[in-house]
C-alpha cells in the first residue's frame, strides 16, 4: 500500500511540475546523471576510501572551496557527495557539498525502480579526537553547518530528508537532526550541541545522509561551512569570515569560449570591460576589504595583468559584487590563423580581515579557454532542456551564433541529459541555418547543412560532450548563423534531453519550433550545444547500448516497388515508413520475409522504424529508385 501511495504522490508531483512550466512547449527537467562524477570517480575509487592514520584534532573546519569533485580525504572517509561551485544558490562562501540520489558514478542508485525512497548519499568525517583527556562535556562543544534544499538543481520532495548522525563510543550512530525536503530556501545555519558523554571518544565521527525519492534523482541538498569546536554557545552563529561566493564572470562579453582567431579578429566587441565576483562579508558589522587579481597567458607564460590592490566597503552579513577591470591590451599570443588552444589564467584575491579568518575561500583561479568551439555555457549542466513533443510531432531547436571572420564548421558537440531513454531508438538531425523564418526579419528558413541520423550518446568524452563530426566540412562567411537539432516525428526522439547550464547570465540565444514557427526560448540558461570550428575533428565513437536492438536487415536496397525485412523470428512487428522530415507515409504490420509495398513512394531516401511487442526498436534507411 505504501508503495502505491508513493507512486501516486510522485505522479501528482510530475503533473503539477509539468503544468507549472513557463512555456507549454519547452521544459527544464532533471539531468538524472552527473557526467563529471561518472568521468572522475571510478579511477579514484580506491584512493578516496582511505582514512586518516590518526584521529583529527579540534577545531574541525570544512568550506568545500577546493577544485576537486570529491570531499577532501584528509577530512572525510567517503566519496558519495559532489563537491562543486555551481549547485549552491547564494552560498555562505564558494563551494558546497551536494547530496542527491545519484551514486558515486553519477547515475541513479536504482535505474530500474524509480518510485522508491531510499538512503542515498552520505558524508562521514574522519575520526576526531574527543577523548575525555582532550575535551569534555564542560567545554561547550558545538557542531554547526549551513544547509539548503534545491539550490540550482531540483527540490527534494517532502518525503525526502537530510539527516545528521553522531557516532557513540560504542560504535553505533544516533540521529540528532533532520530536515524535510522543500523548495528553494536561503542557506540556514544549524547549531548542534555535543554534551552527552556518550559521544566523547578518541574516534568520534559525524555523518550526513539524505533519503531521496529515486524518481527525483537529482533532487538537491547543499551543505556548506561545517565547524566543530569548543568554547561555543547556541548564539555562536557569527562566521567572521570574508570570502568569495561565486565564480567570476568570463573575459568574453557573450560567449564563454570561442576560437582565439575569432576573438582576436574583433577583440573590442568580444572582450568585457570588467570581471565581477560575488563576495560575502559574514561578519555582523561592516568591513573594508582589499582585493586584486592577476592574469597570465599560460601558453607563453606572458603576464597580462600584474596585481594592483583595490578597496571596497561591504556591510555586515551582506553579499556584494566586486568589479575587477579587465586587461585591455592584448597582443596576438599566437598567429590569428593558428588553431591551437589558448588559455588565460586569472587569479582573484581578497585579503583576510584577521589572522583567524579561514583562507581557503580567499582565492579563485579561473581559466578563460579559447578553443575550437563556440559556447554560451560553462561546461557544467545543472538541469536538462527539452521540448514537449509527442511521437507524431516534430521539433526543432536553433541557437544563434556569430563569426568575426570566415571559418569552417566541422561538427557539433552536444551534452545530453540521461533521462532520455537509451539511444538505440532515438535519432535526430543537426541543422546549420543562415536564417530562421520570422527571426531578425527573415521570411524563410535557409538551411546550409544537415547531418542526418544522429543518435544521442553519454559516454565519457572531453568535457562530457558527445562529438558529431560532419560528413562534409561547412565553409562559413563572417556573420550570424544558427545551429541546432531537428527531431523528426516518429523518430523516437520525442523529449530528447539536452544539458542546461542554469548559471548562464544573459540571453540564451535559443529558439524552438514545435507548432507555430520559431519562438524565442523563455527558459533561463544555456542549452549545451557547441559548433566546432577549424581543423578536422574526430567524432565520438558510438557506445554499446544498454538494451538490445531489434536485429534485422532490409533488402533490396536500393529498391523499386517492394522491400523485405529479414527478422530474427516469425513474430509480427510494426513498421512506419518516414520521409526525411519525419512525416509518416506508410504504416503496417509485417513478419519475416513478407514484402512491403513501396510503389506509391516517390524516388528518394526514406526511413523505416520497426518495433516489436517487447518494445525493441530499430531504424533503417533505404533508397526508393
Dump pLDDT digits (tens) for 434-477. 999 999 999 999 999 999 888 887 654 434 788 999 999 999 99
Report which of 417, 409, 439, 448 is spatially closest to residue 512, judged by C-alpha positions.
439
Per this entry, what is the length of the chain?
A: 625
pLDDT of residue 34: 67
517 and 566 co-located in one domain = no
Could you tell me if 181 and 149 are in contact, meaning their C-beta atoms sit under 8 angstroms apart?
A: yes
Instruction: State how far the Cα of 503 lies from the Cα of 492, in Å rounded to an integer.
Output: 30
Residue keyed to cell 570517480: 41
Q: Does 341 have pLDDT greater than 70? A: yes
In a domain, 111, yes or no: yes
405 and 425 co-located in one domain = yes
pLDDT of residue 333: 57
pLDDT of residue 46: 41
CATH number for the domain harbouring residue 602: 2.60.40.1930
393 and 512 co-located in one domain = yes
pLDDT of residue 43: 39
Q: Does 345 have pLDDT greater than 80? A: yes
206 and 305 co-located in one domain = no
CATH number for the domain harbouring residue 468: 2.60.120
Report which of 608, 615, 607, 606 is spatially closest to residue 571, judged by C-alpha positions.
615
Listed in sequence order, the DSSP H helices in 497-606 are none
177 and 127 co-located in one domain = yes
Q: Does 14 have pLDDT greater than 60? A: no
What is the layout of strands, in order, in the sheet containing 318-325? 242-244, 274-281, 318-325
554-577: average pLDDT: 84
Q: Identify the H or E element spanning 8.
A: helix 2-19
Could you tell me if 188 and 107 are in contact, meaning their C-beta atoms sit under 8 angstroms apart?
A: no
Question: What does the block give as the cell for 36?
Answer: 563529471
In a domain, 92, yes or no: yes
Dump pLDDT digits (tens) for 397-423. 999 999 999 999 999 999 987 654 444
pLDDT of residue 580: 59
The residues facing 342 across adjacent strands are 370
Q: Does 228 have pLDDT greater than 60? A: yes
pLDDT of residue 340: 83
In a domain, 22, yes or no: no
Residue 452 CB neighbour total at 10 angstroms: 16
pLDDT of residue 603: 83
387 and 322 co-located in one domain = no
Residue 365 exposed, middle or buried by CB count within 10 Å (0-12, 13-18, 19+) = exposed
563 and 454 co-located in one domain = no
In a domain, 12, yes or no: no
Instruction: State how far the Cα of 245 lies from the Cα of 280, in Å rounded to an integer.
Output: 6
Could you give the percent of the chain with pLDDT greater than 90?
A: 44
pLDDT of residue 337: 60
Residue 535 exposed, middle or buried by CB count within 10 Å (0-12, 13-18, 19+) = exposed
C-alpha pair distances (Å), 304 with each of 37, 261, 308: 34, 18, 13
pLDDT of residue 299: 82
316 and 405 co-located in one domain = no
Per-residue pLDDT band at 97 (split at 50, 70, 90):
very high
> What mean pLDDT value characterizes the chain?
83
Could you tell me if 56 and 75 are in contact, meaning their C-beta atoms sit under 8 angstroms apart?
A: yes
91 and 230 co-located in one domain = yes
429 and 505 co-located in one domain = yes
181 and 320 co-located in one domain = no
pLDDT of residue 309: 92
Instruction: State how far the Cα of 369 lies from the Cα of 371, in Å rounded to an integer.
Output: 6
36-60: average pLDDT: 60
In a domain, 1, yes or no: no
Q: Does 76 have pLDDT greater than 90? A: yes
Question: What does the block give as the cell for 524?
Answer: 533561463
Q: Using CA of residue 48, residue 50, residue 51, residue 52, what is the dihedral sign?
A: negative
Per-residue pLDDT band at 123 (split at 50, 70, 90):
very high
Q: Using the 3D structure, point to which of 370, 401, 433 is the last residue of a domain.
A: 370
Question: What does the block give as the cell for 223?
Answer: 551543505
The whole domain housing 312 covers 249-370
CATH number for the domain harbouring residue 295: 2.60.40
Q: Using the 3D structure, point to which of 199, 217, 237 is the last residue of a domain.
A: 237
In a domain, 539, yes or no: no
Per-residue pLDDT band at 231 (split at 50, 70, 90):
very high
Of 22-26, 52-56, 408-412, where does mean pLDDT reach its minimum? 22-26
Q: Does 358 have pLDDT greater than 90? A: no
pLDDT of residue 33: 67
Could you give the percent of the chain with pLDDT greater than 70?
A: 81
In a domain, 6, yes or no: no
Of 106-120, 434-448, 465-479, 537-551, where does mean pLDDT reach its minimum? 537-551
In a domain, 546, yes or no: no
346 and 424 co-located in one domain = no
100-116: average pLDDT: 67
Tally DSSP H helices, then E strands, for the chain: 5, 38
The distance from CA 39 to its chain's CA centroid, rounded to whole angstroms, is: 13
Dump pLDDT digits (tens) for 291-301. 999 999 888 88
Q: Does 149 have pLDDT greater than 70? A: yes
Report which of 132, 197, 121, 211 is spatially closest to residue 166, judged by C-alpha positions.
197
Could you tell me if 502 and 5 are in contact, meaning their C-beta atoms sit under 8 angstroms apart?
A: no
Of 279-283, 308-312, 361-365, 419-423, where does mean pLDDT reach its minimum? 419-423
Instruction: State how far the Cα of 482 lies from the Cα of 409, in Å rounded to an integer.
Output: 12
Instruction: State how far the Cα of 348 lies from the Cα of 622, in Å rounded to an integer.
Output: 58
Residue 112 exposed, middle or buried by CB count within 10 Å (0-12, 13-18, 19+) = exposed
Q: Does 12 have pLDDT greater than 70? A: no
570-597: average pLDDT: 78
Dump pLDDT digits (tens) for 258-293. 999 999 899 889 999 899 988 999 888 999 999 999
Could you tell me if 585 and 594 are in contact, meaning their C-beta atoms sit under 8 angstroms apart?
A: no
pLDDT of residue 462: 38
Dump pLDDT digits (tens) for 150-197. 998 888 988 899 999 999 999 999 999 999 999 999 999 999 999 999
Q: Using the 3D structure, point to which of 311, 336, 370 is the last residue of a domain.
A: 370
pLDDT of residue 10: 40
Q: Which residue has the higher pLDDT, 221 or 2?
A: 221
Q: Which residue has the higher pLDDT, 523 or 554?
A: 523
84-102: average pLDDT: 89
Residues 6+ apart with CB under 8 A from 46: none
CATH number for the domain harbouring residue 184: 2.60.120.260
42: helix, coil or strand? helix
Residues 6+ apart with CB under 8 A from 10: 115, 157, 213, 215, 216
Please tell me the total count of domains within the chain. 4
Amino acid at each position: 500500500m505504501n508503495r502505491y501511495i508513493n507512486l501516486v504522490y510522485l505522479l501528482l508531483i510530475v503533473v503539477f511540475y509539468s503544468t507549472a512550466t513557463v512555456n507549454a512547449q519547452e521544459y527544464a527537467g532533471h539531468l538524472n546523471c552527473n557526467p563529471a562524477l561518472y568521468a572522475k570517480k571510478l579511477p579514484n575509487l580506491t584512493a578516496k576510501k582511505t582514512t586518516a592514520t590518526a584521529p583529527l584534532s579540534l577545531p574541525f573546519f570544512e568550506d568545500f572551496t577546493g577544485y576537486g569533485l570529491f570531499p577532501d580525504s584528509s577530512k572525510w572517509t567517503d566519496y558519495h557527495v559532489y563537491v562543486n561551485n555551481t549547485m549552491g544558490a547564494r552560498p555562505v562562501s564558494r563551494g558546497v557539498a551536494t547530496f542527491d540520489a545519484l551514486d558515486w558514478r553519477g547515475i541513479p542508485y536504482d535505474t530500474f525502480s524509480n518510485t522508491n525512497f531510499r538512503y542515498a548519499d552520505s558524508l562521514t568525517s574522519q575520526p576526531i579526537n574527543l577523548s575525555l583527556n582532550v575535551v569534555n562535556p564542560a567545554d561547550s562543544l558545538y557542531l554547526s553547518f549551513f544547509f539548503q534544499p534545491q539550490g540550482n538543481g531540483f527540490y527534494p520532495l517532502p518525503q525526502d530528508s537530510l539527516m545528521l548522525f553522531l557516532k557513540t563510543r560504542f560504535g553505533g550512530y544516533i540521529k540528532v537532526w533532520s530536515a524535510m525536503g522543500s523548495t528553494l530556501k536561503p542557506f540556514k545555519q544549524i547549531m548542534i550541541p555535543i554534551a552527552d558523554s556518550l559521544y566523547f571518544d578518541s574516534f568520534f565521527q559525524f555523518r550526513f545522509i539524505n533519503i531521496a525519492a529515486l524518481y527525483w534523482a537529482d533532487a538537491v541538498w547543499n551543505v556548506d561551512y561545517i565547524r566543530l569546536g569548543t568554547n561555543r554557545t547556541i548564539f555562536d552563529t557569527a562566521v567572521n569570515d570574508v570570502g568569495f561566493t561565486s565564480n567570476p564572470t568570463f573575459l568574453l562579453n557573450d560567449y564563454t569560449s570561442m576560437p582565439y582567431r575569432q576573438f582576436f579578429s574583433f577583440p573590442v566587441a568580444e572582450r568585457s570591460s570588467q570581471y565581477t565576483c560575488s563576495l560575502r562579508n559574514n561578519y555582523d558589522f561592516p568591513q573594508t576589504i582589499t582585493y586584486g587579481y592577476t592574469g597570465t597567458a599560460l601558453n607563453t607564460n606572458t603576464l597580462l595583468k600584474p596585481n594592483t590592490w583595490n578597496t571596497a566597503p561591504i556591510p555586515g552579513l551582506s553579499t556584494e559584487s566586486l568589479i575587477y577591470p579587465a586587461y585591455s591590451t592584448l597582443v596576438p599570443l599566437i598567429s590569428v590563423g593558428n588553431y591551437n588552444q589558448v588559455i588565460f589564467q586569472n587569479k582573484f584575491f581578497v585579503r583576510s580581515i584577521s589572522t583567524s579568518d579561514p583562507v581557503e575561500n580567499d582565492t579563485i583561479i579561473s581559466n578563460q579557454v579559447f578553443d575550437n568551439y563556440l559556447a554560451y555555457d560553462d561546461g557544467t549542466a545543472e538541469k536538462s532542456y527539452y521540448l514537449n513533443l509527442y511521437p507524431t510531432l516534430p521539433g526543432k531547436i536553433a541557437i544563434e551564433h556569430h563569426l568575426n571572420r570566415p571559418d569552417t564548421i566541422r561538427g557539433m558537440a552536444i551534452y545530453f541529459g540521461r533521462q532520455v531513454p537509451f539511444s538505440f531508438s532515438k535519432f535526430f538531425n543537426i541543422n546549420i541555418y543562415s536564417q530562421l523564418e520570422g527571426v531578425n526579419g527573415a521570411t524563410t528558413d535557409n538551411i546550409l547543412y544537415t547531418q542526418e541520423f544522429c543518435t544521442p550518446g553519454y559516454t565519457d568524452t572531453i568535457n562530457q560532450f558527445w562529438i558529431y563530426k560532419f560528413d562534409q566540412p561547412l565553409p562559413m562567411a563572417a556573420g550570424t548563423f544558427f545551429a541546432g537539432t531537428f527531431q523528426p516525428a516518429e523518430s523516437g526522439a520525442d523529449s530528447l534531453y539536452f544539458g542546461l547550464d542554469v548559471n548562464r547570465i544573459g540571453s540564451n540565444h535559443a529558439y524552438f519550433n514545435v507548432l507555430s514557427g520559431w519562438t524565442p526560448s523563455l527558459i533561463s540558461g544555456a542549452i549545451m550545444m557547441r559548433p566546432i570550428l577549424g581543423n578536422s575533428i574526430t567524432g565520438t565513437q558510438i557506445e554499446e547500448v544498454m538494451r538490445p536492438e531489434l536485429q534485422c536487415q532490409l533488402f533490396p536496397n536500393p529498391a523499386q516497388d517492394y522491400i523485405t525485412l529479414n527478422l530474427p523470428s516469425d513474430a509480427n512487428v510494426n513498421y512506419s515508413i518516414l520521409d526525411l522530415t519525419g512525416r509518416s507515409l506508410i504504416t503496417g504490420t509485417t513478419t519475416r520475409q513478407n514484402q512491403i509495398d513501396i510503389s506509391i513512394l516517390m524516388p528518394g531516401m526514406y526511413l523505416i522504424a520497426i518495433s516489436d511487442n517487447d518494445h525493441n526498436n530499430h531504424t533503417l534507411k533505404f533508397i526508393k529508385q
